[in-house]
Structure formats: structure tokens, C-alpha cells
Structure 1
Amino acid sequence: MTRKIRITSPHVAEAAPGLWSNCLVVDDSVYFSGLTSRANDGETIHGDDSYEQGKAIFSKMKHLIEAAGGEMDDIVTLTVYVTDMKHNQGVWKARREFFTGDFPACALVGVAALAKPEILVEIQGQARLKKAAGV
């Protein structure tokens, strides 16, 4: 029987009920919503460039994957949304600080806008847990 479990972390603010989940585990698969560098207050944006925003987002992913019983190396695919293709260099720099070895498969998508004008980057991903997470 398939189980779907919402994963939370005190380091990552959840959306209001009825909107979305930041992270779900289904069997051994982990699904991340599009994460931004929005702070836990829901208003403040961490960083004013793509590198700082990327670091904040990957930090959120790290907290969530660890809460699910995994590690960053379990992340297998990412979709990175940027408001300007020149932001890719900052995101790639931040990504190298969180991943080693074989990096996740990845797509980079340019978009006209994200949820707020100061948000430059949004990242969505999927992971496969290496071991039973016990969640």
C-alpha cells in the first residue's frame, strides 16, 4: 500500500493549510515543491543575488531531505527556474556547495516572473531514499 507523508522541518516555513506541501514522501521517493529563498516569516527574501538565493534554497532542501531520513546525495533530479538566464552561474556555484560526486539530473528554465519580483530563483526536485526512512 502506498503511503504519502508530509515532511516538515522547523527550519522551513510551511505554506498555509490547503495550498501545498513543501515536501512529500511516497514510499522511497521524496518530492520537493518549488522552493524559494523566502524566510520563515513568509516575506523576507534571503539574498539579493542568485548565489545567495540558491544557497538558501539548497539549505531548505537539506533540512527537508534529512527530516525525511535521507541526505543530499539522495536527490536525483532538480528543475531550476530563473527570471534571467544569467542567474544560472550563481545557482551552479551554490549547488557545488551542497552536492558532490554525481550531481542530480537537472533542467534550467527561464521564466518571466516568480511569486515576488525579488525572487530570482525557484528550485523543485525529487529524491529516492537509499534506505527505509521509517517515516
Structure 2
Amino acid sequence: MPIRRITSEHVTEAAPGLWSNCLVVGDIAYMSGLTARGKEFDTILGFDEYEQTKVILNKHKALVEAAGGKMADFTKLTIYVTRIENRHLVWNARKEFFQGDFPACSLVEVSSLAHPEILVEIEGVAHIGHGTY
């Protein structure tokens, strides 16, 4: 079963040789840790964890849909935050993207991410075509 690289016009790809945002093997999509960087990587979209989480989950949505799936296909999220005390903002944004049984999830506080203004990074795994809503 070949590995397929999935792209979306809504998610800027990294320069060649760095990473892939989404790889699919069979019906499993693996998504890199995505952040709220803008199209040119030089701006950060969203001023808090709520806004950044929405930007990021919209990127995940674009990639899973480009792979032929939907948000209900996500089975696992790993969320990195720089301010654990604001985790409720992440949860509030997440509720706008998932319903029913939410994906399994880990939330981890880290001392920093790739840029000082990045407050949230999310990676995910989806089983394409297996979601129930």
C-alpha cells in the first residue's frame, strides 16, 4: 500500500525537505503538528488559544477532506499549548468542530513552540471513512 501525500490549497506546505502536513497509508491519515501560521508562514493568525485552535482545526478539516474524509474520522489529537491555564479556550474551539464521540486526545503544556506568538499546535490521526456523523 503506497504512502500518499495529501495537500490542500487552504494549508500552506512547508518547503521541500522539511515535512509533510498529511500522509495517508491505506485509510489512515497522519497529520503533522499544525499551527496558526498564515499563508506565508510570517504571520500568526489568532490572538489567543481559542482563535488559534479554530485556525488549526480548519487546516485539519481541509486536509482530511482533501483525503476524502470528514472531521468525524479523527480518532486521535495531540494538542500542545504554552499556557495550560487557557486550556478551556482550546476545548471551547474544539466543540465547534466535533460532535458525538470526540477523538481521543492528549493536551500537553510545553515551554515554547516554533514562534513566540504560537500558543497552540495540534497533530492528528484520522481513519478515513470510519466516522459516524
TM-score by length of 1: 0.94
Please give the alpha-carbon distance, in whole angstroms, between the structure 1 residues aligned to 2:120 and 2:110: 10
TM-score by length of 2: 0.96
Q: What amino acid sits opposite 1:74 in the alignment? A: D
Residue identity (%):
59
Provide the residue aligned with 1:31 in structure 2.
Answer: 30
Could you list the per-position Cα deviations for residues 8-45 of structure 1 after superposition, in whole angstroms to 9, with x for gaps in the alignment?
Answer: 00000000000000011011100000000001111111
Aligned length: 130
User: In the alignment, residue 91 of structure 1 is paired with which amino acid?
Assistant: V
- The Cα of 1:98 is off from its aligned counterpart by 0.5
CA RMSD of aligned residues (A): 0.8
Secondary structure of 1:11 counterpart: coil
Give structure 1 regions of 4+ aligned residues with deviation exceeding 6 angstroms.
Answer: none
- How does 1:1-135 map onto structure 2 within 5 Å? 2-130=1-129
Q: Is the 8 A contact 1:87 1:120 kept in 2?
A: no
Q: Distance in 2 between matches of 1:17 and 1:64?
A: 18
8 A contact 1:33–1:124 mirrored in 2: yes
Superposed displacement of residue 99, structure 1: 0.5
Unaligned runs of 5+ in 2: none
SS in 1 for 2:75: strand
One-letter identity of the residue aligned with 1:80: I
CA shift, 1:84, in A, is: 1.2
